Chains A and B, each alone.
Chain A
Amino acid sequence: MAYRILIVDDEIALQRMVGEILAQAGYETDSALSCAQALDRLGAAPPDAVLLDVTLPDGDGFSLLEKLRESRDVPVLFLSARDEDADRLRGLGLGADDYITKPFLPQELLLRLRAVLRRVYPQEEGTVRLGGAEILWGKSLVRRNGETVSLTAKEFALLRKLWDAQGNIVTIDTLCQTLWDGPLVGYENTLMVHIRRLREKIEEDPSHPRYLLTVRGLGYRLAREVRP
């Protein structure tokens, strides 16, 4: 089932563009041009998330969020032209799930919306594929060439962090923070050992990895698609 997103913005051109971006990404959309319309739409067809502008003709997004929070707990992402720290902190302080500053790239909007939805509506992804390897998240298992190997807790956390980054680079500092909840110092070698073991479980040829890639000097990235 597709998530339903309510876009509250008084700029019709922007609203239409955001609607198209979301629709292309497989979301259902609804729209409102003012606070009053937004409250109407919220009552008529409760959305799964709200993209909310701060400046609206009949009030501001902050007050609307406060009103909204009184009755329901729908995730809200601000989409605002106000870029000052004070506004950002106010929005997040009122309980918004994210604060995106205009102008933004469609990809950024989609990634941040997806991250919020994943956090608010957790769904256990059953199985994902990485080339010849099949990862069973629920059971912490990797199945490859008919063989099934289990992932240790650290390997699972490592793989999950890299998978959630959606192909982006994750620095070695972030990985250490995830695994040991502390800074990198002293853990570099241990991290490399975990990476090597993980490669042995998911890669065809661990010495020439195609998925779990090293980005020299920075960290690692998990390529979801490999170009032929």
Chain B
Amino acid sequence: MKARGLLKGAGLVAASAVLIVAVILAGILSFVYYNTAAGRVWGVPLRLLSAALVPGEDGYTFTGEELLGEDRWAMLIDEEGQVAWSLRKPDDVPEHYSLTDVASFTRWYLNDYPVQCRIREDGLLVVGAPKGSIWKHDIAMDIQVLLQLPVWFTMLFLLSLLCVLGLAWLVLRRWFRQAQQARDAARSDWINGVSHDIRTPLSVVMGTAAQLENAPDLSPERRRQAGIVRTQSQAIRDLVNDLNLTMRLDCAMQPLRKEFIQPEAFLRQTVADFLNGGLAEGFPLEMDLPAQPLPAIQADPFLLRRAVNNLLTNCVRHNAPGCPISVGARAEGGAVLLWVESGGAAAPSSGPGEPSQLEPDGGAAHGTGLKLVAQIAEAHGGRARFSRGSRFRCELRLPADGRSLS
């Protein structure tokens, strides 16, 4: 999975780099084509112009006026620095030039006129364009610096690429997160609404069934049947509650109200409440607590009670009365281990060849009860471990001092 992710990432970077290079090349070509097609070429073909200037007995003959264009001028400076021939030479362009003048204008401007030069046997041909029409710059560079340029350009290109990809990733992540939050909120609202609407009719079913169960004028058989309706209504109630809570934990919408809890007192109270609710009649329940006091844990008592309750309910639902259930705790390393164990395999079977270790979510596909246990353990920075052989056992490993288990 990791190699696949890396490959995907490398592919994405390569594709982005190719895309950026393609866009830049296309841009450069468009720029050149656009300006060439519009005739915006700064230079004139000096070789052809020079060929068009021929010396004769009566002086020079020039046949390249069309090539030169209307707004340019030209002159030929001889070996002495004197203008030997000129065409449309402006008045502010001198007739005589020293060595330093020539060195200067061949590189830069001649009296602010941008000029091009070509060396001939009889002197120097100078072609001038109107002032302000052409920008000239002399480029000279240390060869070492020049050799570094490809490396620098590549690095800068990659850096820009990373910045672009990083920005795109941030924007996309934010966008996906917002979309996820909207979906979570909609799901949460829907489940909340359904669970709210189901509670009132379920109250009537559960209450009426409980009344019939205790009605002295009904036959024992009818009362037993009413008891079945009551028990099944309670199962639906538990399912609705679990569904609601599991969804809230999934969407991180359930705030944890952590308190310091003494594991022994907490387990005794939870088991006593379970027994007082009449939910474990006929199931011998045994407490397995160490003689030495256990370290306190930091946990949300409501959620943790729910987890232990779900495990106890699970043991009762999937075993016949008479099956012993054991609840205990012990300290292990920096953690406290709470467990619930029952004699039978108190979890739905996963078919032939089933492993002794249940799937990490405790067989969540079969119901929300055990999934919720795992979620609650994780929300407390701990772990739930389900195992089943001849006995069902769930261990909740919770950090003793509120720190996450590594």
Contacts and interface: CB of A to CB of B under 8 A. Distances in A.
Contacts of A18: 207
Contacts of A217: 268, 286-287, 289
B404 interface: no
A101 B195 CA distance: 12
A122 to B, nearest CB: 24
B199 A102 contact: yes
Given A106-B210, A216-B287, A185 B271 contact: no
Contact of B207 (A17, A101, A173, A185): A17
Contacts of B269: 171, 173-174
Nearest to A185: B293
B355 to A, nearest CB: 32
A218 B270 CA distance: 10
A82 B196 contact: yes
A105 B210 contact: yes
Contacts, number: 95
A171 B244 contact: no
A17 B208 contact: yes
Interface in B188-246: 192, 195-197, 199-208, 210-211, 230, 233-234, 237, 241, 244
Contacts of A168: 272, 276
A84 B195 CA distance: 11
Interface in B162-210: 192, 195-197, 199-208, 210
B350 interface: no
A83 B237 CA distance: 12
A11 B211 CA distance: 19
Of the listed residues B262, B272, B289, the one surrounded by the most CB atoms of chain A closer than 10 A to its CB is: B272
B268 A14 contact: no
B272 A219 contact: yes
Contacts of A102: 199-200, 202-203
B118 to A, nearest CB: 88
B275 interface: yes
Contacts of B211: 17, 20-21, 24, 106
Nearest to A18: B207
Contacts of B287: 216-218
Interface string A115-155: 00000000000000000000000000000000000000000
Top 10 nearest A-B pairs by Cβ distance? Answer: A217-B287, A81-B199, A103-B203, A173-B265, A102-B199, A168-B276, A103-B202, A169-B272, A171-B268, A102-B203
Interface of A: 11, 13-14, 17-18, 20-21, 24, 81-85, 101-107, 109, 168-174, 183-185, 215-219
Given A17-B207, A81-B199, A217-B268, 19 more contacts: A11-B200, A14-B207, A17-B203, A17-B208, A81-B197, A82-B196, A83-B244, A85-B257, A85-B302, A101-B199, A103-B202, A103-B206, A103-B207, A105-B210, A105-B234, A109-B207, A168-B276, A184-B264, A216-B286
Interface of B: 192, 195-197, 199-208, 210-211, 230, 233-234, 237, 241, 244, 255, 257, 262, 264-265, 268-269, 271-272, 275-276, 286-287, 289, 293, 302
14 contacts: A13-B204, A20-B211, A84-B192, A85-B255, A102-B202, A103-B200, A109-B207, A173-B262, A173-B264, A174-B269, A215-B275, A216-B286, A217-B286, A218-B275
